[in-house]
C-alpha cells in the first residue's frame, strides 16, 4: 500500500534507505490505478512491463554496495568527473560526481535561469487565463 502523500523525494529516500523497492512501488501504483482509474479515467495508455523493467533497473542501481576508488593510473580530468567505479551485473560503471562537471557558480546560474524560466511560464499562463 502506498500513502497518498508519497512524493518523488520520499519515494527516492525509501528506495535508498531500503524500506521499499522501486518494483514494489511500481506494482503498488499499478494496483491502485487498476482499482481507481475506472472512476477517474486519468490514464489513456499504460506500459506496465516497461515500467516494471525500469523499476527493476532502479533497484539494481540502488544495490550498488560499494564505490571503488578510481585507480591511480587515471590522472586526467576524470578524477573530477567520477566519485569512483561501481561493479554491477558484470559491468564497471563510473559513478559520476555531479559537481565535477559544473562549478558551484555554474550551478547557481543554472538555478537562477531555471527559476526565471519557470516564472516566465507561470506569468504567461496567468496572462492567457
Partner 1 sequence: MSATENAHGSSFVLLQVGNNRVALPAGLVAELAPPVRLHVFPHTSKLIAGVIVRRGRIVPVYEAGVVLGGRRASSQRFYLIARWQIGNADELGAIPVNGECELATGEMQPPAMNGPAYVAGTLAVGEDSFDVLNLEAFTSICFPIAGGSLNAESLS
Q: Which residues bind partner 1 (CB under 8 A)?
A: 68, 71-78, 81, 85, 87, 90-94
CB of residue 53 to partner 1, shortest distance in Å: 23
CB of residue 98 to partner 1, shortest distance in Å: 16
Nearer to partner 1, 33 or 67 (CB): 67
Nearer to partner 1, 68 or 107 (CB): 68
Nearer to partner 1, 30 or 74 (CB): 74
CB of residue 22 to partner 1, shortest distance in Å: 24
DSSP string, 75-118: -STHHHHEEEEEEETTEEEEEE-GGGTS-HHHHHHHHHHHHHHH
Nearer to partner 1, 11 or 85 (CB): 85
Q: How far apart are CA 15 and CA 18, in angstroms?
A: 5
CB of residue 60 to partner 1, shortest distance in Å: 17
| Inter-residue contact 65 to 88 (CB < 8 Å) | no
3-state percent helix, strand, coil for the chain, nearest multiple of 5 = 60, 10, 30
Q: How far apart are CA 14 and CA 6, in angstroms?
A: 10
Amino acid at each position: 500500500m502506498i500513502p497518498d502523500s508519497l512524493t518523488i523525494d520520499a519515494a527516492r529516500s525509501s528506495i535508498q534507505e531500503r524500506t521499499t523497492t522501486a518494483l514494489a512501488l511500481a506494482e503498488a501504483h499499478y494496483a491502485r490505478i487498476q482499482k481507481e482509474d475506472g472512476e477517474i479515467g486519468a490514464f489513456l495508455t499504460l506500459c506496465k512491463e516497461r515500467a516494471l523493467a525500469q523499476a527493476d533497473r532502479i533497484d539494481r542501481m540502488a544495490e550498488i554496495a560499494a564505490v571503488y576508488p578510481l585507480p591511480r593510473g587515471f590522472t586526467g580530468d576524470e578524477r573530477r568527473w567520477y566519485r569512483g567505479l561501481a561493479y554491477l551485473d558484470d559491468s564497471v560503471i563510473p559513478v559520476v560526481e555531479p559537481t565535477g562537471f559544473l562549478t558551484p557558480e555554474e550551478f547557481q546560474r543554472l538555478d537562477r535561469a531555471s527559476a526565471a524560466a519557470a516564472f516566465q511560464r507561470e506569468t504567461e499562463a496567468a496572462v492567457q487565463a
